[in-house]
Structure 1
Amino acid sequence: MDEDLKQLLEHWNEMRELTLDLLDELPEKYLSYSVGKNMGIIGKQYRHIGDVQICYVDAIKKSKIDFSKYKRDYSIENSKEKLKEFLIEINKEMLNLIEENSEVEIDWFGDTLNLKQHIQALIEHEILHQGELVVYIRTLGLKFPKSWRLWGL
């Protein structure tokens, strides 16, 4: 694995840790909170983050991205423990797969992305949802974990 990919994966792991830190700090009763119509509950945000990572993992396996067939296990949306286990499990699977297959190229709807570009897109997706989670947490008037000082919060 080249140094650029190692650094990118370090950045990825830092972003995922922020996501998990926020989940750890969140009182479980707020997993069912939504900021408004068509926004989904906080638990859905977390479940979706993991579901999309499943698509990224499958793309590494199959050399093609496909967002149409991911898990959608709605039963985990109201459990911090299940959400955290899900996110940790899929992340371990992805990191192990990357160790074995760091040279993969992925068909992204007709464009070809190397693994670094693919992981960068996943990082951007994670950050997008962190931004959405900021709205939820601010609306609830909750405090952010210390790790979120990275974002000035």
Structure 2
Amino acid sequence: MEKLMERLNTAFDLTDDLVKNLSVQDLKLTLGDLPSNTIGEQIWCIVGARESYLQAVIHNEWVGFSCSLNDLTTHSSVMYSLKSSSKACIEQVDSKDLNDTQIDYLFTLLEHEIQHHGQLIRYIYGNKLSFPKSWNNRYAV
């Protein structure tokens, strides 16, 4: 369990590092002519997954997807949602013993976050943006 929490913290920190270096204009970028949503909408999905899987852990069952991040037009709103969703996950999970179902939800959350990292790498390359040092170290981008 300790290793899982370490990996979740690392994934959350990497996401924060990437987004804090993006501008509000960057959050509106897509992958050009390819079918894609915006970088901000990728972040919306990350926040929603964090919040939704946290609810699944709390209730010991899937209760549906929801996301509190409603404002993708201000950088501070996006960063606040990232920070508060990661903090809520870590605090809730650190405070209790979890069963196998709850641990599976956390592994799925970790997989989801990392899948978005892969997608965000394409967005950063596709829009000729730069990666923070933490991403260079972790993913050799």
Normalised by the length of structure 2, the TM-score is 0.88
Give the % identical residues. 24
CA contact (8 A) 2:50 2:109 kept: yes
Structure 1: how far apart are the matches of 2:113 and 2:10?
Answer: 11
Match of 1:54 among 51, 55, 61: 51
Structure 2 stretches lacking a partner, 5+ long: none
Deviation of residue 37 (structure 1)?
Answer: 5.6
Match of 2:90 among 76, 88, 95: 95
Other-structure match for 2:24 = 28
1:143 is the counterpart of 2:138: no
For 1:4-153, what aligned pairs fall within 5 Å after superposition?
Answer: 5-35=1-31, 36=33, 38-67=35-64, 69-71=65-67, 73-74=69-70, 76-105=71-100, 113-115=101-103, 117-149=104-136, 150-153=138-141
Structure 2: how far apart are the matches of 1:30 and 1:78?
Answer: 10
Structure 2: how far apart are the matches of 1:27 and 1:93?
Answer: 25
Normalised by the length of structure 1, the TM-score is 0.82
Q: Which amino acid aligns with 1:30?
A: D
Deviation of residue 72 (structure 1)?
Answer: 5.6
Q: Larger Rg: 1 or 2?
A: 1
Structure 1 stretches lacking a partner, 5+ long: 106-112
Structure 2: how far apart are the matches of 1:99 and 1:10?
Answer: 11
Superposition CA RMSD, Å: 1.7
Which of structure 1's runs of 4+ aligned residues deviate more than 4 A?
Answer: none
Structure 2: how far apart are the matches of 1:26 and 1:84?
Answer: 10
How many pairs does the alignment contain?
139
